Amino acid sequence: MKVLFITPGASWATADVAAGLQFGLEANGVQVIPYLLDQRIDRSTRWLHYNWRRTKKRHPEIEKPNVADVFYQAGINALEMALRHQVDVVLAVSAMFLHPDVVILMKRAGLRVVVLFTESPYDLEKELGIAALVDGCWTNERTSIDDFAKVNPCSGYLAHAWHPERHKPGPQPGDELMPTHDVLFVGSAFHERVEWLSAIDWTGIDLGLYGSWESLGSRHPLRKFVRGAQVDNPTTAAMYRRAKVGLNLYRTSKGWGKFAPAVERAESLNPRAYELAACGAFHLSTARTEVAEVFGDLVPICTTPAEASELLRDWLANPAGRARAAADLPACVAESSWVDRSTRVIGDIQSLLQRWAA
């Protein structure tokens, strides 16, 4: 099978999902032709704005390029690449920054297009708009399946996974160069996370925050715990292996800001849950139905900041208990790597190709 693989427009988080899926597909013998949408968006942004600035000197009435212009130019060459390589299918991850006209033109050209959606239920409305255009899709959130089935009968649930080359238990070469914290969280500063972490008493606890925390004011009480900006996925795994306790905080909002609407329902594990377990990293988690289903009592669940504060101090004082739980975590996700998940993707695509051929 030959696949044109369109990576996400974002360079973090969803890009890690794409890297894992590509690794899994290639491990299962699929020929993958990557189309790096995030890099193309960056180049298109600079090229369009450069030419706009030059042209407006002679033609001041010319309109400034907008986001849709950038996304279209960044994505349209995927059509040419798919036709040139005569791929069996075009597979996009996320597709939030893939211009819908690109998908429409691919379909007109006779190409088959499928999408792995990674932002359910947070960007469900946008995802459903793309789902209605493609031949098949998967969602990362099991409570969203019915919504997708209404717009595309070839929809399914594909749980997240871990990368076999990045997420390994026990000390790995280079881990010793990573910082060590009592408690570690790597992620973005969504409003509910900021409020939640701010309500915990961190006295005497070395908290390390990494990721997108630029929105915190210079005098915010959490500012002193921000130790770094975005870190790549292998570095994140190494730091979690080194931390005494990791945190996995699930989003509850659909966007940024204090007044962002809350998601109505969500049950599925995020990528970090699988990655932490595969690394044998002891961690606490906020509530999702699949946490208990997959990990039992190996991952303590905290429903309030007060409960989290108590659990953190109890577990920080119990290194033997942390070690026992950490040793059992990898077995919980042993069959949930991206190599395993990719067999489902390949099987679904083959079934769709046979159906289309018939």
CATH of the domain at 263: 3.40.50.2000
Query: Would you tell me the crossing angle of helices 14-27 and 338-357 to the nearest 10 degrees?
Result: 70
166 within a domain of the structure (yes/no): no
The residue ranges of the chain whose pLDDT is under 50 are none
Which alpha helices (DSSP H) does 217-283 contain, by range? 233-242, 271-278
My answer on whether 129 and 100 are in the same domain is yes
Could you give the 3-state DSSP secondary structure of residue 240?
helix
Q: Are residues 154 and 224 in the same domain?
A: no
Q: Does residue 186 sit in the same domain as residue 66?
A: no
Identify the pLDDT of residue 181.
97
Angle at 335 between CA 15 and CA 311, to 5 degrees: 75
Q: What is the pLDDT of residue 184?
A: 98
Q: Per the domain annotation, does 210 fall within a domain?
A: yes
pTM for the model stands at 0.94
Is 168 contained in some domain?
no
* 299 and 203 in a common domain: yes
Same domain, 100 and 30: yes
Domain-located, residue 17:
yes
Directed axis angle between helix 37-55 and helix 67-85, to 10°? 130
Q: Is residue 167 part of a domain?
A: no
| Cα–chain center distance at 340 | 18
- Residue numbers of the domain that contains 119: 2-161+337-357
Co-location of 205 and 75 in the same domain:
no
The residue among 253, 268, 244 whose CA lies nearest residue 161 is 268
Distance, in Å, from the CA atom of 333 to the CA atom of 283, rounded to the nearest integer, reads 15
User: Measured on CA atoms in the order 270, 275, 276, 277, is the torsion positive or negative?
Assistant: positive
- pLDDT score for 350: 97
**Are residues 153 and 261 both part of a single domain?**
no
Total domains, the chain = 2
The pLDDT assigned to 32 comes to 98
What is the structure's pLDDT at 257?
73
Strands 207-212 and 226-228, how do they pair? parallel
What order do you get walking across the sheet with 136-139 strand by strand?
31-35, 2-6, 89-93, 113-117, 136-139, 155-157
For the chain, helix, strand, coil in percent to 5 are 45, 15, 40
CA 263 from chain centre, in angstroms, equals 17
Whether residues 301 and 326 fall in one domain: yes
Q: Judge if 257 and 114 occupy the same domain.
A: no
Q: Name the nearest CA neighbour of 9 among 33, 37, 35, 34.
A: 37
Residues 220 and 88 in one domain: no
Q: What pLDDT score was predicted for residue 263?
A: 86
Q: Are residues 182 and 320 in the same domain?
A: yes
The alpha helices in the chain, defined as continuous H runs, are 14-27, 37-55, 67-85, 100-108, 124-131, 145-151, 191-198, 233-242, 271-278, 289-295, 305-316, 319-332, 338-357
Q: Which of 186, 198, 221, 213 is nearest to 308 (CA)?
A: 198
**Residue 207 sits in the same domain as residue 151:** no
Asked, for residue 243, whether it belongs to a domain, the answer is: yes
In a domain, 120, yes or no: yes
CA-wise closest residue to 3 among 108, 86, 104: 86
- Alpha carbon distance, N-terminus to C-terminus of the chain: 18
